[in-house]
Amino acid sequence: MTFRSIALAAVGLSVLAGPAMAQNYPTRPVTMVVPFAAGGPTDTVARLIAQSMSQTLGQQVVVENVGGAGGTLGAGRVAKAEPDGYTVLLHHIGQATSATLYRKLPYKTLEDFQTVGLVTDVPMTIVARKDFPAKDMKELVEYVKANKDKVTLANAGVGSASHLCGMLFQDAIKTQLTTVPYKGTGPAMNDLVGSQVDLMCDQTTNTTGQIKGNAIKAYAVTTKDRLASLGDLPTVAEAGLAGMTVGVWHGVYAPKGTPAPVVEKLSGALQTALADQTVIARFAELGTTPEPKERATPAAHDQHLRAEIARWKPIIEAAGTFAD
């Protein structure tokens, strides 16, 4: 056999392998990268859907936490992974905001990922350590303004939802605070509960249990209406910070170039997970609801991502907080 015939045979095999691979997919475990630390809000969402997706796909969907740089490290890892469906990303609104927040990203947000489907839109809560000296939002704003040099605000790095929410908060009260970045709000929550840091704006998937257990203080929720799961908590508008209404939408991504039938299988498994009664019930306890089937599709997710990049670009540019 000549080198050329061997090469042609190899090309022929890989063309054949394409559809066959997609049909049998998955034949081994799928890694779901969460771009934040374990035990945090994104991790919680990922582990819930991964469990159901594993059942549908007949292979384990294994969550791997790759925290750091506000979610961009983990996202970068998936952007460069083999586009074979065995590495996927579960990311949130940060996938859209980091496209503007970072002057240089190690990937192209719209070109390097294949959207799989939207997952859920999680409210945020403004919370403080339990011994923080403010009983409501009015007192919180007064205290923060009077003590701005010593009040600390935790977040999960530039590009995280807690960073975005903290940015909106500082903007709303026209006061800059010292921010403390973590690899995720899981570890940040440990420090908040331990009173090592003062404030945080974080997702209900991480804060609900701590608020109900009185381990931290809560001042407002960032939804338009109050939440059934935290009924006593006023909305940001009720608490006087109307401009802070924000939700943390999540989506699943594959690397660009992942075969369409594989993306369809992933999307189908995601849709099944979102209709799973256990997932729905747990989401409700945590103050959120799964996206309906028609939003858990590659097309709806792609449209949403593009709209969100466009929506946040002018807001971030006006705030002028960029990272390299």
Buried b (16+ CB within 10 A) or exposed e, 234-254: bbbbebebeebbbbbbbbbbb
CA 184 vs CA 34, 46, 269, 270: distances in Å: 10, 14, 27, 24
**Minimum distance, C-beta of residue 124 to ligand ASP, in the bound complex (Å):** 8
Q: Is 112 in the site for ligand ASP (CB under 6 A)?
A: no
Span interacting with ligand ASP, options 155-163, 172-180, 276-284, 315-323, rule CB under 6 A:
155-163
Buried b (16+ CB within 10 A) or exposed e, 93-116: bbbbbbbbbbeebebebeebbbbb
Q: Which of residues 35-94 bind ligand ASP (CB under 6 A)?
A: 36-37, 40-43, 92, 94
Between residues 186 and 255, which has the closer beta carbon with respect to ligand ASP? 186
Between residues 72 and 229, which has the closer beta carbon with respect to ligand ASP? 72
Q: Binding residue for ligand ASP (CB under 6 A) from 68, 184, 255, 298?
A: 184
Between residues 66 and 300, which has the closer beta carbon with respect to ligand ASP? 66
CA 109 vs CA 72, 75, 77, 78: distances in Å: 10, 9, 13, 11
Q: Which two three-digit tokens encode residue 161? A: 């939802």
SS (H, E, C) 23-69: HHCCCCCEEEEECCCCCCHHHHHHHHHHHHHHHHHCCCEEEEECCCH
State the binding string over 293-322 for ligand ASP (x if CB under 6 A, else -): ------------------------------
Q: Which of residues 26-45 bind ligand ASP (CB under 6 A)?
A: 36-37, 40-43
Between residues 165 and 270, which has the closer beta carbon with respect to ligand ASP? 165
Contact in structure between 283 and 119 (CB atoms under 8 Å): no
Between residues 26 and 94, which has the closer beta carbon with respect to ligand ASP? 94
Tell me the C-alpha distance between 88 and 79, whole Å: 9
Of the candidates 110, 89, 104, 97, the one whose C-alpha atom is nearest the C-alpha of residue 35 is 89
State the binding string over 190-209 for ligand ASP (x if CB under 6 A, else -): -------------x------
Between residues 185 and 288, which has the closer beta carbon with respect to ligand ASP? 185
Span interacting with ligand ASP, options 73-81, 108-116, 179-187, 308-316, rule CB under 6 A:
179-187
Between residues 43 and 112, which has the closer beta carbon with respect to ligand ASP? 43
Tell me the C-alpha distance between 274 and 186, whole Å: 23
Between residues 141 and 201, which has the closer beta carbon with respect to ligand ASP? 201
* 62 phi and psi angles, rounded to 5 deg: -100, 120
Residue entry with tokens 């460069």: 80
Q: Binding residue for ligand ASP (CB under 6 A) from 72, 98, 120, 162?
A: 162
Span interacting with ligand ASP, options 7-15, 183-191, 284-292, 309-317, rule CB under 6 A:
183-191
Between the CA atoms of 280, 283, 287 and 293, what dihedral angle is there, to the nearest 10 degrees? Answer: -60
**Minimum distance, C-beta of residue 166 to ligand ASP, in the bound complex (Å):** 9
Tell me the C-alpha distance between 71 and 67, whole Å: 6
Beta-bridged to residue 284, according to DSSP, are none
- The residues of the shown chain that bind ligand ASP, judged by CB under 6 A, are 36-37, 40-43, 92, 94, 156, 160-162, 184-186, 203
